[in-house]
Amino acid sequence: MEFVAEYGTTLIWLAAAFGFLMAFGVGANDVANAMGTSVGSRALTIKQAILVAAVFEFAGAFLAGGEVTSTIRKGIIDSGYFIDTPDLLVFGMMSALLAAGVWLLIATKFGWPVSTTHSIVGAIVGFAAVGVGMEAVSWGKVGSIVASWVVSPLLAGTLAFMLFVSVQKLILDTEDPLGRARRYVPFYMFLAGFMIALVTMLKGLKHVGIDLSTGESIAIATATGVIILLVGKYFIARIKDDPEANKEFHFASVEKIFAILMVVTACGMAFAHGSNDVANAIGPLAAVVSVVSHGGEIVAKSALPPWVLLIGAIGIVIGLSTLGHRVIATVGKKITQLTPSRGFAAELAAATTVVIASGTGLPISTTHTLVGAVLGVGMARGLAALNLNVVRTIFLSWIITLPAGALLSILFFFFFKGLFAV
């Protein structure tokens, strides 16, 4: 096609820049999914969390971010409507990346933990519905995503509530909490190792070409859980009771044990998040690269150039290291007061929800899931333990994410059409 031949290089450069901006936004806003509870519970300092997140998010995004990608992200739009007008698909994907990236920067500036998936979905729906036609959008898919606003935080919140209540009953509300912690925390460590390994295999490694059956995944996750249980027991045995610290906070020695666990869950969640959510940035970018490299032809699948993954991985790391602290503060400190035991309950509940969603095909947001889990932990201590003003602001930011992404995308779409005189 003449249009692709004339502007192909320019379009790829622009798409790469917008893809980087989107990846930057993913890192800045979504890093709280893995690190918010660890920082809020003081298991890690903000600097330690950013360093750990940088290593594991980059590893997840680059090593497990995908060798092959669909040209149309998550099947939200029908590629058949673009066969005769591939330029509109290119403009649309560029607009979606720029719109979602801008919205994520706005949300991050105010410390709002919004869904990067919903940001890009809203942007893609916006340009397709207005710029191409309402019938180009798979509305059933969009409906299931909207339904996940309720399902994922509710499920994660319920699981977190139950987990923390079990910690209270088995450990905290007993005469010998440290002794009980030494007995029961290794089992929580097994659960955490099992779930994080399962999340990594179901969401993190599905793009690499490693085809594991459900049984194989469960077996590997079980082995991982047992290893973490044994390592955890070794470190727990080395933790001594600290009467002085216990005077300031009755459960200080017990929380040291949970702090070890928090670091493990944070690393696993960072890897799984990087490997899965980098697709929000590189999916549309890959679509542009595919259309241009195939001379305007739209193919169902295309090989993903390594430099595309690298842009996503580097963008995520730079975003989290420069602006990640803002949303971490909201999730970790402003919703409810977290300790390592509370943070662990939230993190494990979020991981479990992700596993359930992956197994059932339910589209969920990791952001909504973790915030729901933190709310569940807060509810276990009573409604007064929650900062309802912050909760209300977060919910409002969730509601406006899809339309905000859509509106910005529509504006950028017509701008690009005018700029390239199509």
Read off the pLDDT of residues 27-38 as tens digits, 9 standing for 90 and up.
899 877 778 888
pLDDT exceeds 90 at position 97: yes
Mean pLDDT calculated for residue range 191-209: 71
What does the alpha-carbon distance between residue 151 and residue 143 come to, in Å, rounded to a whole number?
12
Say what the pTM is: 0.85
Long-range interactions of 170-178: CB distance < 8 A, separation 24+: 171/254, 171/341, 172/251, 172/254, 172/341, 177/250, 177/251, 177/254, 178/241, 178/253, 178/254
Better-predicted residue by pLDDT, 236 or 16: 16
Count of structural domains within the chain: 1
Better-predicted residue by pLDDT, 409 or 171: 409
What count of residues does the chain have? 422
Question: What radius of gyration, in Å, describes the C-alpha atoms of the chain?
Answer: 22
Map residue 54 onto helix, strand or coil. Answer: helix
Encode burial over 388-410: b for 16+ CB neighbours within 10 A, e otherwise.
eebbebbeebbeebbebbbbbbb
Check: CB of residue 373 under 8 Å from CB of residue 346: yes
- Domain range for residue 396? 2-419
Q: Alpha helices of 278-387 — where are they, by DSSP H?
A: 279-293, 306-329, 340-360, 366-379
Give the model's pLDDT for residue 79: 75
Map residue 241 onto helix, strand or coil. Answer: coil
Check: CB of residue 401 under 8 Å from CB of residue 65: no
Counting residues of the chain whose pLDDT is more than 90, the rounded percentage is 26
Mean pLDDT calculated for residue range 355-383: 82
Those residues with Cβ within 8 angstroms of residue 319's Cβ, 6 or more apart along the chain or in another chain: 23, 24, 25, 26, 27, 28, 29, 31
Task: Please state, rounded to an integer, the average pLDDT across all residues of the chain.
Answer: 83
Among 124-133, 296-305, 371-380, name the one with the lowest average pLDDT.
296-305
Read off the pLDDT of residues 278-324 as tens digits, 9 standing for 90 and up.
778 888 888 888 888 877 677 666 667 888 888 988 998 899 889 98
pLDDT exceeds 70 at position 145: yes
pLDDT exceeds 70 at position 72: no
Give the model's pLDDT for residue 207: 53
- State the residue for tokens 């029908």: 78
Give the model's pLDDT for residue 249: 60
What does the alpha-carbon distance between residue 272 and residue 352 come to, in Å, rounded to a whole number?
13
